[in-house]
Amino acid sequence: MALGIKQFINVGGIVRDLKSFNFSVYGQWFGYINIILCLALGIANLFHVSAVIIFGIIAIIQGLVILFIEIPFLLKICPLSDNFIEFIKRFATNGKRALFYLAMAAVQYCSMAVMVTSLVVIAAGFTVSSLSYTIAYFKHQQFQSTSVIKNPADDDFPHEAVVREML
């Protein structure tokens, strides 16, 4: 019996997150989308013959930094410097994340001074994440993590995967 990726996704948790009206969760979801956008559009903009290449490289770096901010588990399993880990841990509240995403958006909006490219989509995504975290901050909502992947301790987690995880 083959295991599919759908068996590991916590659909009930995703639906619960979307119905929660907790804007920190929405900010985190847009953060995940921003990771994909930064990497994809950053690479796509490396093929321009102008200074936009610099902003494409910056977008790739931004995507990797956001990856560590939004998925803090990676800080434990990846060999990183202590300075970088301390930098990432600064963004543990809604207010600080809102300011961080706003600064990231400003950098990508500056790319429009050189040439208007698909990097504007990244800037818009950062703006939406910043707005979500800002609303969560002003509503005094607690920072929450989403539950996209099922927990191995859950009853509906595939048993074959539990055995593989133990091995």
Integer Cα distance of 103 and 41 in angstroms: 18
Q: For residue 43, give every residue at least 6 positions away whose Cβ sits within 8 Å of its Cβ, in sequence order, or none.
A: 56, 60
Integer Cα distance of 156 and 98 in angstroms: 35
- Give domain limits for the chain: 21-141
- Report the predicted TM-score, pTM, of the whole model to 2 decimal places: 0.79
Integer Cα distance of 156 and 131 in angstroms: 35
pLDDT tens over the chain, length 167 residues = 455 556 556 666 667 766 777 888 888 889 999 999 999 999 999 998 889 999 999 999 999 999 999 888 888 888 889 999 999 999 988 999 999 999 999 999 999 999 999 999 999 999 999 999 999 999 988 776 665 555 555 555 555 555 555 55
